[in-house]
Structure 1
Amino acid sequence: MANDKLRVFGKYFPVFLNYGFSLLVQRIQALIHRYTWKNLPSSQNVVVIGGSFAGITLARRLAESLPSGYKVVLIEKNSHFNYTFNFPRYSVVPEREQRAFIPYTGIMANTPKGIFEQVQDVAVGVREGDVVELASGRKIPFAYLAIATGVTQSPPAKLLAREKADACGELRALQTRIQDASRIAIVGAGAVGVQMAGDIKSFYPEKSVLLIHSRQQLMSSFGVRLHEYVLGKLQTMGIDIMLGERPELPRTAAWEGGELTFKGVKDEQFDLIIPCTGQTPNSSIIEQFCPTAVSSKTKRILVNPTLQLKSDVKTNAQIHNIFSLGDVAETGGPKMARAGMIQADVVQENILALINGRKLKTYKPMSIEGSLKLSLGMDEHVMYVKHEDGDEFLYGGKSSNVDLEVEKAWKMFGGDMETNKAS
Structure 2
Amino acid sequence: MANDQLRVFIKYFPVFLKYGLSLLFQRVQALIHRYTWKPLPSSQNVVVVGGSFAGITLARRLAESLPSGYKVVLIEKNSHFNYTFDFPRYSVLPKREQRAFIPYTGIMANAPKGIFEQLQDMAINVLEGDVVELASGRKIPFAYLAIATGVTQSPPTKLWAREKAEACAELRALQAKILDARRIAVVGAGAVGVQMAGDIKSFYPEKSNMGIGIVLGERPELPRTAGWEGGELTFKGDREEQFDLIISCTGQTPNSSLLEQSFPTAISSKTKSILVKPTLQLHSVAESNAQHHNMFSLGDVAETGGPKMARAGMVQADIVQRNILALINGRRLKAYKPMSIEGSLKLSPGKVSSR
Q: Where on the TM-score scale, by shorter chain, does this alignment land: which range?
A: over 0.9
Counterpart for residue 178 of structure 2: 178
The residue number in structure 2 matching 1:402 is none
The answer to whether structure 1 residue 292 and structure 2 residue 265 are counterparts is yes
Counterpart CA distance in 2 for 1:376 and 1:239 is: 16
Contact conserved, 1:63 with 1:111, CA < 8 A, in 2? yes
Per-residue deviation at 1:240? 1.3
2: distance between equivalents of 1:157 and 1:320? Answer: 33
SS of 2:125's equivalent? Answer: strand
Q: Normalised by the size of structure 2, how large is the TM-score?
A: 0.97
Amino acid at match of 2:132: V
SS in 1 for 2:159: coil
**Could you say which residue in structure 1 is the equivalent of 2:122?**
122
Contact 1:126-1:285 within 8 A present in 2 as well: yes
Report deviation, 1:267: 2.4
Partners of 1:239 and 1:282 lie apart in 2 by 36
Match of 2:326 in 1: 353
SS at match of 2:243: strand
Does the alignment pair 1:336 with 2:322? Answer: no
Q: Which stretch shifts more, 310-319 or 77-86? A: 310-319
- The residue aligned with 2:49 is 49
1:14-413 mapped onto 2 (5 Å cutoff): 14-209=14-209, 238-312=211-285, 317=290, 319-382=292-355
Higher deviation after alignment, 7-16 or 282-291: 282-291
In structure 1, C-alpha distance between the alignment counterparts of 2:206 and 2:135, rounded to whole Å: 47
Q: Deviations over 1:282-314 (max 9, x none)?
A: 111112211111111111111111100012379
Query: Relative to total residues, which structure has the larger strand share, 1 or 2?
Result: 1
The two structures have a TM-score, normalised by structure 1, of: 0.82
Note the C-alpha offset of 1:265: 4.5
* Corresponding letter in the other structure for 1:373: K
Deviation at 1:243, TM superposition (A): 1.5
Q: Contact 1:309–1:319 at 8 Å: present in 2 too? A: yes
For 1:19 and 1:251, locate their aligned partners in 2 and report how far apart those are by CA, in whole Å: 47
SS in 1 for 2:283: strand
Partner of 2:294: helix, strand, or coil? strand
Percent identity (aligned): 83
Q: List gaps (5 residues or longer) in structure 1.
A: 210-233, 383-423
Shift of 1:345: 0.3
Task: Show CA shifts across 1:32-65 (max 9, x none).
Answer: 1111111111000000000000000000000011
Structure 2: state its 5+ residue gaps.
Answer: none
* Deviation, structure 1 residue 142: 0.1
Give the C-alpha shift of residue 162 in structure 1.
0.3
Between the aligned partners of 2:164 and 2:174, the Cα distance in structure 1 is 16
Return structure 1 stretches of 4+ with deviation > 3 angstroms. Answer: 313-318
Q: How big is each residue's C-alpha offset from its partner over 1:397-422, in whole Å with a ceiling of 9 and x where there is no partner? A: xxxxxxxxxxxxxxxxxxxxxxxxxx
Q: Check the 8 A contact 1:197/1:239 in 2, yes or no.
A: no
**Residue identity in the other structure for 2:32:** I
Distance in 2 between residues matched to 1:143 and 1:266, nearest whole Å: 58
CA gap of 1:162–1:18, structure 2 versus 1, over 3 A, is: same
Q: CA RMSD in A?
A: 1.4
Query: Which deviates more from structure 2 when the two are superposed, residues 166-175 or residues 248-257?
Result: 248-257
Are the equivalent residues in 2 in contact too, given 1:312–1:318 (CA < 8 A)?
no
Instruction: For 1:359 and 1:163, locate their aligned partners in 2 and report how far apart those are by CA, in whole Å.
Output: 41
Q: C-alpha displacement at 1:316, in angstroms?
A: 11
Distance between the aligned counterparts of 2:297 and 2:2, measured in 1? 39
Report how many aligned residue pairs link the two structures: 355
SS at match of 1:304: coil
